[in-house]
Amino acid sequence: MASPSRRNIWWLLVISVGIVMLAALLMAPESLAAQPTPAETAAQGELRDAMLAAPDALRGEDLYAPCGACHGVDGRGVPDGSVPAIAGQHYIVVVKQLVDYRHQRRWDIQMEHAAKMRHLESGQDLADLAAFVAALPRGFSAGKGDGEFLGLGARAYFQRCEGCHGPLGGGQAERGIPRLAGQHYRYLYRQFFDAVEQRRPNMSTLHTELMAPLDRAQILGISDYLSRTSLELTRDAD
Q: Is residue 23 part of a domain?
A: no
pLDDT at 238: 54
- The β-bridge partners of 177 are 172
Record the pTM. 0.80
pLDDT tops 80 at residue 1: no
What CATH number is associated with residue 107? 1.10.760.10
The lowest-confidence range among 24-28, 54-58, 123-127, 130-134 is 24-28
pLDDT at 237: 53
Residue range 6-39, pLDDT digits in tens: 454 444 444 444 444 445 444 555 444 557 787 7
Looking at residue 148, the DSSP 8-state letter turns out to be: T
How many folded domains does the chain comprise?
A: 2
pLDDT interval class at 206 (50, 70, 90): confident
Q: Is residue 115 part of a domain?
A: yes
69 and 104, same domain (yes or no): yes
65 and 106, same domain (yes or no): yes
Q: How far apart are CA 238 and CA 208, in angstroms?
A: 26
Looking at every residue in the chain, the average pLDDT score rounds to 84
Domain that holds residue 177: 150-236
What per-residue string of b and e applies to 171-197 under the rule 16 or more CB within 10 Å gives b?
bbbeeebbbbbbbbbbbbbbbbeebbe
